[in-house]
Amino acid sequence: MQNGRPEGSIYPATTVDISSRGVLLRTGQPAGFGSLVQVRLQIELPGSKEYIRATGPVVRVQEEKTGHQYLLGVAFETLVSPEQLAVLRRLETLDLKELLNLLCQMKASDLHLTTNQVPHARVKGRLVPMKWPVFQPGEIQALIYGTMLDSQIAAFEKNRELDFAFSLSSDKRFRINLHWQQGHVEAAIRLIQSQHEGWKALGRPSIVGEWSRRSNGLILIVGPTGCGKTTTLNAMIHQINQERDAVVICLERPIEYIHQSKKSLIKQREVGSDTLSYPEAVRRALRQDPDVIVVGEVEDAETVQVVLNAAETGTLVLASFHATNTVQAIDRFLGLCPESSRRQATLQLANCLQGILTQYLIPKEEAMGGDLTLATEVFVPTSAARNMIRGGNLEQILTLLQTGRTQGMYSIEQSLRQLVVQGLIMEETAKNYLSLIGEASASR
């Protein structure tokens, strides 16, 4: 006995959580608070199997709701060797929750996990190395696999790519892209903002809010990867949910924002688990009495065709698409179709298109807080614009954008110049983005 506590007691248990400071155990044998217990742990790390033996007092005792099971928190007082302490500290680097909480504290948008590198966070558009140990081969796989279902692991190992969502809590949700790189599993993780900000706070033009009130047609939200297209789509869904009695069917891969039905009935279907493909899901959605269909990504000719068909049936379709500006968006959207059906798709698009928003997230100047600001291009299809689409005279649309302020239109160049006038970005930054956009457009 030592201070009235039994020394060397051993409890058969499973490990719930562990750190270099202690361990949380689940066991069928209760223990008194302050009891000194000995724990023996088998720890499997990438490439090795380690054994830990430690002694410490019970600092937490909690009976679980199911009964006959207890959670025991043991604070380590002694470890057999310094090497075992090193093992536990290495194990802490495989705690994804701790890493993601650190990401949130840094107010970062993205996390990149690469073998033989420390984690890197994207903060205000810039990559920042994190204070974290370098990932050894196999450790990222162990880190991420611990959060995945068996079915997700099987799908990843079959397809070598996987997108899925992961939640720490109701206000901390992440999109994880898992992939292979030179024989190693690696990951890119994006923080999904939980709050639905208003149009003004997001910096998006008010006309996009007006588009959310349309009863039919096609709205395209376009831009490069990581420009906030998904955030814009979900802000539109949020507005519809607040204002309209509507059935809204959202098709996503993966589901990022979680919507609670309010005035609207929101159905969120994940491509890959709830449905097998975007085209089939859109077809089936038309039999589900939809008022609004949201398509997370238009990526092939079949999706283009079903989206156009849905938009012509009296349904409002909101869709995301990768493009650098309005002209490229129309050209690439129609270019996905085979030559045999392109003319028909062109006529459908000219008839049902309601608007295109192009957006870019651009780092502000440090003097303005160094955060991100939004540059946008808005296209409203007037009668003249619809004729240009039908006739394939897409280059003339640029003139409409530059002179169409009264219809709510403006070009990305005009938006960038306005940001320069406001002092949010420098002239050189605007020129660099215009150059990049021009190069991308020339390659269409």
Note the pLDDT of residue 138.
Answer: 82
Whether the pTM exceeds 0.95: the reply is no
Give CA angle at 259 (258, 260), nearest 5°: 125
What's the mean per-residue pLDDT of the chain? Answer: 86
| pLDDT beyond 70 at 93 | no
At 443, is the pLDDT very low, low, confident or very high (cuts 50, 70, 90)?
low
Note the pLDDT of residue 48.
Answer: 60
Note the pLDDT of residue 292.
Answer: 98
Mind listing the pLDDT tens digit for each residue in 174-233?
999 999 999 999 999 999 876 555 556 667 898 999 999 999 999 999 999 888 899 899
Domains and CATH numbers, the chain: 9-89 (2.40.10.220), 96-192 (3.30.450.90), 199-442 (3.40.50.300)
The lowest-confidence range among 11-15, 240-244, 286-290, 424-428 is: 11-15
What is the spatial distance between Cα 311 and Cα 354, in angstroms, rounded to a whole number? Answer: 10
| pLDDT beyond 60 at 344 | yes
Nearest to 219 by CA among 323, 322, 338, 321: 321
Per DSSP, what are the bridge partners of residue 275? Answer: 271
Mind listing the pLDDT tens digit for each residue in 256-276?
888 999 999 999 999 988 998
The lowest-confidence range among 47-51, 132-136, 212-216, 253-257 is: 47-51
Per cent of the chain over pLDDT 90 is: 53
What is the spatial distance between Cα 228 and Cα 140, in angstroms, rounded to a whole number? Answer: 27
294: its two tokens? 């949201």
Q: How many CA atoms lie within 13 A of 309 on its CB side?
A: 14
What is the spatial distance between Cα 238 and Cα 235, in angstroms, rounded to a whole number? Answer: 5
| CA separation, residue 325 to residues 46, 321, 349, 374, 379 (Å) | 46, 11, 17, 14, 10
Note the pLDDT of residue 242.
Answer: 95
Higher pLDDT, 250 or 24: 250
Note the pLDDT of residue 198.
Answer: 53
Going by C-beta distance under 8 Å and a sequence separation of 6 or more, which residues neighbour residue 54? 23, 38, 39, 41, 74, 76, 77, 78, 79, 80, 84
Mean local confidence (pLDDT), 328-339: 96
At 91, is the pLDDT very low, low, confident or very high (cuts 50, 70, 90)?
low
